[in-house]
């Protein structure tokens, strides 16, 4: 079958890979000149199967209200005259109950496990190298109260079958000795040894090359303009070259929409309404001056809600979220202060370890759903249109598995996990959804 995949981030490229595995003829379209040049470019680098709690939980409304409009808050909500933003916000509030949280966590754990297994298999098969470190993720706390809350969260995750260990200060320092310079600020931590880290951009770009070697066609620098529908099916994807301006309609048997935060706008004219809203995040990548003194275990700094991951001879510091539309700028006063605070915090934790004189700053838009659960499955409006979008804070973690699962669904097979796939993905309803598992 001929398949057109729209979007070449981690999600689109991994979908293309698994479709090629099944012998399909694949064309991938992206407006950029290579894969992973948007949200998958410089993220926190964590494969965090065991740290997958969604933002929506029973305590979130109180925290978000406290942070509302505070420029330096970890989650900043800037109200706009934008119905999509309000719809998302109201739906997010609806997920802020203990029951919804537990349900969402369980699905995210399921997808995370499936994805981790898919990633390991894919890496073993292809030998892709991407600064991978299988050293776990260590979440450390800078106050006793936060540590106690973190220990409760660890117990909740343990109930979902996740190996998240509670560590005292000495145990934290034993897991990551580089934190010694900040030891008096560490009150304890939680540790998930099976998690890992690696560079999503390098992985995705190398996987795209392997896809091309296996016969996939990549149409770079092409905007996806619209989907053409007739009789309940998609009959073409209208694209335009950014170089020549030339428009054409790509014909295929099936289409996959994997355009992250831009997917809802593409599907809206079909009458399909996806609740994905962009949550802007920041990262700083610094060259290491003293690599031997830098961390190798991927870190979560609870005090600032940031991730710190070692990528070869650099360190990546990433975090914060702004719900403020599609703005990607780095030069506003808020952006400048957010970027500066990432570097400042790294220097507090690891003084003199990195070169802070030339930080590489970046912003990306997490394609966020109120549950943090992505749309993976079949469109409700066109039977040959498939969705793989809305991976929020965990698209790198869930990348390989989301591609694998969608290719399985397209082949009429049920992926082996209890996950609520979107739409009528399998006519026989063989999916063990959370309601029936």
**Member of 84, 397, 407, 420 binding ligand FAD (CB under 6 A):** 397
Q: Rounded to an integer, what distance in angstroms lies between the CA atom of residue 28 and that of residue 411?
A: 19
Shortest reach from residue 392's CB to ligand FAD, in Å: 6
φ, ψ of residue 301 to 5 degrees: the values are -95, 105
Nearest to 304 by CA among 319, 321, 314: 319
224 part of the interface to ligand FAD, by CB under 6 A: yes
Q: Cβ of 190: how many Cβ atoms within 10 Å?
A: 25
The maximal CA–CA distance of the chain, rounded, in angstroms, is: 66
Shortest reach from residue 197's CB to ligand FAD, in Å: 8
38 part of the interface to ligand FAD, by CB under 6 A: yes
CB nearer to ligand FAD: pick between 169 and 368: 368
Q: Rounded to an integer, what distance in angstroms lies between the CA atom of residue 159 and that of residue 199?
A: 30
Shortest reach from residue 247's CB to ligand FAD, in Å: 13
Q: Tell me which residues in 43-102 interact with ligand FAD (CB under 6 A).
A: 43-46, 48
**Member of 394, 407, 410, 431 binding ligand FAD (CB under 6 A):** 394
Residues that bind ligand FAD (rule: CB under 6 A) add up to a total of 42
Partners of 294 in the β-ladder: none
Shortest reach from residue 413's CB to ligand FAD, in Å: 23
Collapsing DSSP to helix, strand or coil, 4 comes out as: strand
Place of tokens 């048997």: 253
Q: Tell me which residues in 119-138 interact with ligand FAD (CB under 6 A).
A: none
381 part of the interface to ligand FAD, by CB under 6 A: no
Residue 18 vs residues 12, 234, 405: alpha-carbon distances, Å: 10, 22, 9
Q: Cβ of 247: how many Cβ atoms within 10 Å?
A: 12
The dihedral through the CA atoms of 323, 328, 333, 337 has a sign that is positive
Binding mask 296-325 for ligand FAD (x = CB under 6 A): -----------x----------x-------
CB nearer to ligand FAD: pick between 173 and 200: 200
φ, ψ of residue 322 to 5 degrees: the values are -125, 125
Q: Rounded to an integer, what distance in angstroms lies between the CA atom of residue 122 and that of residue 124?
A: 5
CB nearer to ligand FAD: pick between 85 and 397: 397
**Member of 116, 139, 391, 404 binding ligand FAD (CB under 6 A):** 391
Binding mask 327-366 for ligand FAD (x = CB under 6 A): -------------------------------------x-x
Shortest reach from residue 259's CB to ligand FAD, in Å: 4
CB nearer to ligand FAD: pick between 7 and 359: 7
DSSP E strand stretches across 329-426 = 354-368, 375-378, 385-389
Shortest reach from residue 21's CB to ligand FAD, in Å: 18
Shortest reach from residue 249's CB to ligand FAD, in Å: 14
Sorted by sequence, the CB contacts under 8 Å of residue 203 that are 6+ apart come out as: 10, 128, 130
Shortest reach from residue 42's CB to ligand FAD, in Å: 8
CB nearer to ligand FAD: pick between 57 and 283: 283
372 part of the interface to ligand FAD, by CB under 6 A: no
Query: Which strands, in side-by-side order, build the sheet including 233-241?
Result: 222-230, 233-241, 247-250
CA 177 centroid distance within chain? 28
Is the Cβ–Cβ distance between 5 and 29 less than 8 Å?
A: yes
The stretch among 10-18, 67-75, 325-333, 349-357 that binds ligand FAD (CB under 6 A) is 10-18
**Member of 189, 264, 278, 281 binding ligand FAD (CB under 6 A):** 281
CA 319 centroid distance within chain? 12
Shortest reach from residue 225's CB to ligand FAD, in Å: 7
The dihedral through the CA atoms of 216, 422, 111, 64 has a sign that is positive
31 part of the interface to ligand FAD, by CB under 6 A: yes
φ, ψ of residue 348 to 5 degrees: the values are -65, -40
Is the Cβ–Cβ distance between 99 and 27 less than 8 Å?
A: no
**Member of 259, 284, 406, 410 binding ligand FAD (CB under 6 A):** 259
**Member of 77, 154, 393, 409 binding ligand FAD (CB under 6 A):** 393
DSSP 23: T
Shortest reach from residue 271's CB to ligand FAD, in Å: 19
Shortest reach from residue 32's CB to ligand FAD, in Å: 5
Partners of 243 in the β-ladder: none
**Which residues contact ligand FAD (rule: CB under 6 A)?**
7-12, 29-32, 36-40, 43-46, 48, 223-224, 258-260, 262, 281-283, 307, 318, 364, 366-367, 389, 391-397
């Amino acid at each position: 079958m001929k398949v057109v995949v729209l979007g070449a981030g981690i999600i689109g490229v991994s979908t293309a890979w698994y479709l090629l595995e099944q012998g399909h003829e694949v064309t991938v379209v992206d407006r950029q000149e290579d894969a992973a040049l948007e949200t998958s470019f410089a993220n926190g680098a964590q494969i965090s199967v065991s740290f997958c709690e969604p933002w929506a939980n029973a305590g979130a409304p109180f925290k978000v209200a406290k942070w509302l409009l505070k420029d330096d808050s970890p989650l900043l909500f800037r109200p706009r005259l934008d119905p999509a933003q309000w719809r998302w916000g109201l739906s997010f509030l609806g997920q802020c109950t203990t029951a919804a949280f537990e349900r969402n966590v369980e699905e995210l754990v399921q997808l995370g496990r499936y994805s981790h297994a898919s990633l390991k298999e894919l890496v073993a098969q292809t030998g892709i190298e991407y600064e991978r470190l299988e050293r776990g993720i260590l979440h450390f706390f800078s106050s006793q109260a936060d540590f106690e809350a973190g220990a409760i969260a660890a117990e909740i995750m343990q109930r979902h079958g996740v190996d998240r260990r509670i560590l005292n200060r000495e145990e934290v320092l034993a897991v990551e000795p580089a934190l010694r310079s900040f030891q008096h600020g560490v009150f304890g931590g939680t540790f998930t040894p099976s998690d890992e880290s690696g560079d999503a951009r390098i992985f995705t770009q190398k996987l795209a090359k392997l896809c091309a070697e296996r016969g996939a066609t990549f149409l770079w620098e092409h905007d996806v303009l619209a989907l053409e529908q007739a009789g309940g099916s998609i009959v073409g994807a209208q694209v335009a070259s950014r170089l020549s301006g030339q428009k054409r309609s790509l014909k295929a048997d099936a289409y996959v929409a994997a355009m992250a935060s831009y997917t809802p706008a593409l599907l809206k004219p079909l009458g399909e309404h996806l609740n994905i809203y962009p949550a802007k995040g920041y990262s700083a990548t610094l060259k290491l001056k003293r690599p031997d003194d830098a961390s190798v275990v991927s870190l979560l700094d609870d005090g600032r809600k940031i991730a710190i991951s070692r990528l070869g001879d650099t360190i990546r510091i990433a975090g914060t979220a702004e719900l403020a539309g599609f703005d990607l700028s780095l030069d506003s006063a808020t952006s400048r202060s957010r970027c500066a605070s990432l570097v400042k915090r790294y220097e507090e934790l690891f003084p003199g370890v990195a070169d802070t004189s030339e930080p590489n700053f970046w912003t990306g838009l997490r394609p966020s759903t109120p549950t943090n659960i992505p749309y993976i499955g079949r469109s409700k409006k066109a039977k040959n249109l498939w969705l793989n979008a809305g991976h929020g804070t965990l698209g790198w973690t869930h990348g390989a598995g989301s591609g694998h699962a969608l290719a399985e669904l397209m082949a009429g097979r049920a992926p082996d996990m209890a996950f609520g796939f979107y739409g009528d993905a399998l006519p026989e309803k063989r999916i063990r959804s959370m309601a029936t598992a």
